[in-house]
Amino acid sequence: MPGFLEGITYGKMSFRRSEDVWLSGVRGSFSAALRDSREESYTVVADRTASEPVYYTRCLGHLCFASECGALISLPGVSRDADFGALSSLLLSGHLLEDTTLFRSVRRLAGGQALRVRNGFAEKLVYWQFAPGSREPVDEQELLDRLGRTLCNAVESSIGGTPGETAVFLSGGVDSRAILGYARRTAGLCTVSWGTGDCLPGTDAAIAGKLAAVCGARHQFLERDLPDYGTLFEEAAAVTEYQSDVAAFHPQEFRLMHQLQAGGIRRVVRGDETFGWKKPALSPQGALARVGLRRFGLVEGFAEFFRPGPAKLLESASEAQAGALVAKASGVLWNQLKDQLYFTQRLQNYLNSCAVFKQRLLEHSNPLLADEVLDLLCFVPEALRSDKRLLRLLVAREFPELHAVGYAGADGLEDWAKLRSSDSPLRRYLKSQLDDEESGVWALYDRRRLLAAFHSCRESDGYRFGGLARRGMARLGRDVLKPVLPQGADHFQAMLSLRAPISNTKTLLRFLVVKQWIDCCSPVLH
């Protein structure tokens, strides 16, 4: 519902878990606004994964909501004060956290949440929560059988319409391989991959081509070229509303979706999933580190890139956010916390931001996140959620010919560090933005420190622990501590990861996102 607004008078906001049967039974990919004339109540709902964004704010005594943050910020009386917690997570992790936006006055409905207004009062309802492994475990073979049936139905439901008009996005990993296996019987099956070249051995695009050939699918490779980084980036940043660093690292993707649409593709099938992110976490810091959620004050040398006042605001807001995330997990095993953080933070904030390019132009579906799959994950024990073990076992059993094709060892995308330090469209655009002395971004950043990073050929400069020292300490934790104190080793290695400096390339590309947001949206930074 792009740009759709509705005004509802309300008083204060409360928060509770919903006991409404109808809300708990809602399924599918959707966002909805409902009015109950009998109770004179209004309910705004996001689906379980928040796949279609719903933003809301208070404006002149009314509750206003929209599918775009910009639609709400443009309303009279809505504050443009920056949210330093959201800003710190964008700078540190490349995406926002929880229900935040870059404006304190606007919030986003998380997956499984609803807003209800009744009798002048608003309350946020939680009608569903992701709880992997929360039910009594099921036998491995039974789980494989149930997962196979569930995924088969989900993929068949996702691939519809006229043959040749649906494309499966294909990489060299296990996620899209599972979708391809169940979709291979579809007449006129199309698969799509992209990268800087499709001939680089071991990359996603190279492996995707082999998988498509095994299934006899019509495969299309889209090349990610950068004729004009600045134009592509600014277009992509506006589409994603600066909610992540996706526009900086994937500036061509919106144009690629236009290319698919022009070629007759009307529907795409994605492979985002939540079967288990990386190795198990044995400590709270390990859970945060696995998902890439960092704290401003811990990152070595990062505060130097900012002016002293904003740096203090970013640090305090970041500490509050990290503390709240861990506090909410009271009584939860650390590995379960890791999987919950991946689902609620990375998937709903970063991966959903990536999906905006597809949503704007094409119908899209995500069978690995179907409600029935999420329900089944409640029965999957920790051992089968480690590094997607259950899904890998399923692919090996059901599709041995696809499993036999090697898995990708590289994404085949741009070497952004090389492009940053060589004569390229990226470097030229970066220089033009750093030379813009009139921008309001310099109320936040230390320009001299950013220029030093721009001119440096290194990825981190002058920090206490160099790469060799850090790798040596990581080996110490892995080889010496882990055999005798596994939890202590996990904490030790996680702290090394959380303290490691953020590369100059990531810092500079995320600077582009923040600068574009400040220049286009005029937030108040104080």
CA atoms within a 13 Å half-sphere pointing along the CA-CB vector of 222: 22
* Confidence category of residue 481, pLDDT binned at 50, 70, 90: low
pLDDT in tens, 233-252: 999 999 999 999 999 999 99
Q: So what's the pLDDT on residue 162?
A: 73
Better pLDDT: 334 or 478: 334
Q: So what's the pLDDT on residue 197?
A: 79
Instruction: Return the bridge partners of 64, or none.
Output: 7, 57
Q: Nearest-CA neighbor of 335 among 294, 289, 376?
A: 289
Mean pLDDT across the chain, nearest whole number? 90
Checking if the pLDDT of 3 tops 50, the result is no
Q: So what's the pLDDT on residue 96?
A: 97
Better pLDDT: 25 or 476: 25
What is the percent of the chain with per-residue pLDDT over 70, rounded to a whole number?
Answer: 90
Checking if the pLDDT of 8 tops 80, the result is no
pLDDT in tens, 406-448: 999 999 999 999 999 999 999 999 999 999 999 999 999 999 9
Query: Is the separation of the CB atoms in 246 and 240 below 8 Å?
Result: yes
Query: How many angstroms separate the CA atoms of 471 and 488, rounded?
Result: 18
* Confidence category of residue 6, pLDDT binned at 50, 70, 90: very low
Checking if the pLDDT of 373 tops 50, the result is yes
Query: How many angstroms separate the CA atoms of 348 and 346, rounded?
Result: 6
Checking if the pLDDT of 405 tops 70, the result is yes
Checking if the pLDDT of 1 tops 50, the result is no
pLDDT in tens, 68-116: 999 999 999 999 999 999 999 999 999 999 999 999 999 999 999 999 9
Q: Nearest-CA neighbor of 402 among 143, 171, 180, 150?
A: 180
Q: So what's the pLDDT on residue 5?
A: 37
